[in-house]
Amino acid sequence: MNERYSLDELISMAVAREINDYENIVIGVGIPITACILAKGLHAKNAILMTESGLIGFNPLVPVVGIADVGASKGFSYSTDLFSMFTTHTYRGFVDKCFLGCGQIDKFGNINSTVIGDYKNFKKRLPGSGGAADFISYAKQTVLTLNRGQFVEKLDYFTSPGYLDGGDSRDRSGHFLRGSGPSTVVSRKGVFKFDPVSKEMFLASNHPGITVEEIKKDIPWDLKVSPDLTETKPPTAEELAFSRKFNPALSIGQRATARLINKIRYPKLPEKGNAFIQELRDKFFS
């Protein structure tokens, strides 16, 4: 296709393709919500979307700003509470797939979404676990997104469990739904899967214009590459039209959108004030 698309749109489409029809999906904020709506609108029309706060059969009208953003919805099938969402739905194995972002990830899909640096003297504070540790433990599959995070040999903080030490260590621990764990990682350069035996991450596809060598530079271990390596499929015209109707911000990128909104909201804020606010955001919220 000749139509231009943003990197955020490419990532959103790659995530959407991980969703199958009739699956029970726990959605998050950001790119995953657009991916879920795209999948439900185009190829997984019978997927059931659920929020961490307990909205079942969630049907968003616009991108949500939080896990309990009822105002963003056209409607939902029924509502429960957060406690029941975990105890009745998640812990009993009724969640087929969930989506989590991460600040750091290691070769076995263990993730850090708490702090970068030492916990008591951190360089950057991340959102924390929230329900991430529960969902990756009991959902049948987890799709991870690495937007501005990094691949590391050792996590600064262990927030949520992937495949622990690799192999069958996750199942042997006895703490998780058997056979569960991360299935896919989508980064800004490629899509990664996990070896069914060793549970080590490998490169499955590289994004258009990105070489394997460029991807390997970001990864501190000897990254294995699939013998069937492909290029990540670009979004189709139909997918782009659907995505831009639901979340037009993705077409120019989320960070560019945030900068534009700040300029509109605070047009008279001195440059020094802008720099100070950006410093706080980078440390606590980015």
The string of pLDDT tens digits covering residues 88-124 is: 999 999 999 999 989 999 999 999 999 999 999 999 9
The number of domains in the chain is 2
Question: Does residue 248 sit in the same domain as residue 280?
Answer: no
Write out pLDDT tens, residues 3-31. 789 999 999 999 999 999 999 999 877 78
Question: Does residue 183 sit in the same domain as residue 275?
Answer: no
Instruction: Taking each helix axis as running N to C, give the angle between helix 7-16 and helix 31-42, from 0 to 180 degrees, rounded to the nearest 10.
Output: 50
Domain that holds residue 52: 7-253
Tokens representing residue 172 in the block: 């042997």
Question: Does residue 209 sit in the same domain as residue 272?
Answer: no
Residue 272: what residue type? K
Tell me if 271 is assigned to some domain: yes
pLDDT at 127: 86
Tell me if 244 is assigned to some domain: yes
Question: Does residue 231 sit in the same domain as residue 285?
Answer: no
Question: Does residue 126 sit in the same domain as residue 264?
Answer: no
| β-strand partners of 141 | 97
Tell me if 2 is assigned to some domain: no
Q: What's 78's domain CATH number?
A: 3.40.1080.10
DSSP per-residue letters across 118-136:
ETTEEEEE----TTHHHHH
Report the alpha-carbon distance of residue 16 to residue 165 in Å, rounded: 29
Question: Does residue 206 sit in the same domain as residue 263?
Answer: no
Report the alpha-carbon distance of residue 194 to residue 225 in Å, rounded: 11
Tell me if 227 is assigned to some domain: yes
